[in-house]
Amino acid sequence: TSWGTAHARSVANQRRPLPIAGKRANRPRVSSHRPRDWRLGGPIGWPSPPRGWAVLRTARISPLSVAPVLGRRGDGGCGRRRGTGAGTGTGAAAARGPAERADHQRAEPGAAGARPLQVRRAAGPPGPGRPPRRRPHRRRLLPPRRGRHHWVPATQRLFGGQIVGQALVAAARAVSRDEQVHSLHCYFVRAGDPKVPVLYEVERTRTGKSFSVRSVKAIQHGKPIFTCQASFQLSQGSPVQHQFTMPTVPPPEELLTQEELIQKFLQNPNLAERYRKHLNKIQAEDVPIDIKPVNPPDVFCLEPQEPKQLFWVRARGYIGETDMKVHCCVAAYISDYAFLGTALLPHRQYHVKFLVSLDHSMWFHAPFRADHWMLYECESPWAGGCRGLVQGRLWRRDGVLAVTCAQEGVIRVEQKPNQSKL
């Protein structure tokens, strides 16, 4: 038969019901193992299509009905038919090229006197009077960018806060400017290599009227090292509002920075050499965060302490009144610094062998500026099974709760040797 031609026998013997919209069993299925034997325009006598395929039979079918497409553009045809046996059809236009085929061709009456059909071509570029083809949604890879500032911890692994912050940057670029992040949930799958670029792949999981979800995957060496789901929301008001009370602490202007505290410890002539090397290593890291501990731990004390710490934090440098998403990304970077170490305060008699984050979650409540001082309240409600759980809250100086954080990590320790630090 020619392209766009279909034949039918009697209604009782030949008519098959069309697939009902929404029925999963009747949806067209295409797989590589099926031969290209059911195209219109092929030789007579090919086998019938499998069950579930839509077959055009009578003129009662809408001209917009389309059979599944199988094969390349410009080959024998663009649809499927049910074979009618040898000697059925004319085969007069089997060699027609794609340029000679019209968008809608009227079929010739078949041997059984079937009424002509109109078949809409499914392939080819959109033209006059033809709606554009709908393409399946695909994940989009954001263009790569390389930052100028790159801090590597003493462990020679990628800093977890850097991965979280950069993943949030990638996710924020895939939503509208009016949408702001309100939560993110991350998993650290593999250790990151600081010598290899990180590729962030973003998937538009859902885009709704009020909320949108973006999934991010960080890839190194062709394998995911980090996964994240971030949710964004359009600004909405609500009469339901409450929060905890901010702890009462001294202002940051009255406290010493972490560098000043380390320098104070290093001035002690009785400090053991191994602890002096450790403090020098911390001081040489040059973390891009200003930190002022409210209750700095005593490095000379091995007594258990309450698993809670408070310190003022802010990003070094000026960020300014820019998009709120930028401040959220910087806060994600800050939130992972010294966070899991809160679970070690009651166990200072042990030496840490392995300390790594498993996951990280954040909830953003109110606008803030990451380059202004914020109080970071950290506490650990539980530890056990070589794991520790920590929770944190970032407070603005005016007492507004801006961010809530939570993290679980692996903690492996060993007994410290009985040596004095002095």
Q: How far is 25 from 42, CA to CA, in rounded Å?
A: 27
- Beta strands across the sheet bearing 374-384: 140-141, 199-207, 211-220, 223-234, 179-188, 350-364, 401-415, 387-395, 374-384, 308-315, 289-293
Q: At what angle do helices 273-284 and 258-266 cross, to 10 degrees?
A: 150
DSSP readout, 72-113?
Answer: -TTSS-SSB-----TT-S--TTTT--GGG--SEEEPPP-TT-
* 3-state DSSP assignment of residue 308: strand
Give me the catalytic one of 162, 231, 336, 361: 336
**Is residue 283 among the annotated active site residues?**
no
- Which secondary-structure segment (H or E) carries 261? helix 258-266
CA proximity to 314, closest of 257, 385, 357, 271? 257
Could you say which DSSP state residue 55 is in?
A: -
Q: How far is 246 from 351, CA to CA, in rounded Å?
A: 33
**Is residue 359 among the annotated active site residues?**
no
* 3-state DSSP assignment of residue 249: coil
**Is residue 407 among the annotated active site residues?**
yes
> Which tokens is 70 given?
């199988």
CA proximity to 421, closest of 268, 259, 285? 268
Give me the catalytic one of 357, 361, 380, 391: 357
User: Which residues are the active-site residues?
Assistant: 336, 357, 407
